[in-house]
Amino acid sequence: MDEKAYLDLAHETFGRILDAFDDVDAEDADVDSSGDVITITWRDRSKCIVNTQRPTRQVWLAGGDRAWHFAWDAAQRRWMDDKGTGAELFATISSIAKQNGIELEVRAS
């Protein structure tokens, strides 16, 4: 994937993540977007960080004591964990939100 295609896809992905938090109370999850980074601060002050990794054309996610590297799978049209665990970016963010008491659906398309 070339740089422009990656950046377009990353921008769309970040938009979907931000849209998913539109109806979430800021007391439960404060979401800040700056450049290539989304920071989600949960009620207990723990954080979840989503950021682009341009050199590898990936999206990285860190939440709690875990971190994932997601690569675009063109066949599935999804960001999938590069370790082959079957973890998908939006489902993983939704799972972290659920652990923090928030029902969240990040739409894949």
pLDDT digits (tens, 9 = 90+) for 34-53: 999 999 999 999 999 999 99
Classify burial at 70, counting beta carbons within 10 Å of its beta carbon; exposed 0-12, middle 13-18, buried 19 or more. buried
End-to-end C-alpha distance for the chain, whole angstroms: 19
Q: Report the predicted TM-score, pTM, of the whole model to 2 decimal places.
A: 0.93
In 3-state terms, what secondary structure has residue 70? Answer: strand
Can you list the domains of the chain with their CATH numbers?
3-98 (3.30.920.10)
> Radius of gyration (Cα) for the chain, nearest Å?
13
* Gap between the Cα atoms of 94 and 72, Å rounded: 18
pLDDT digits (tens, 9 = 90+) for 8-41: 999 999 999 999 999 999 999 999 999 999 999 9
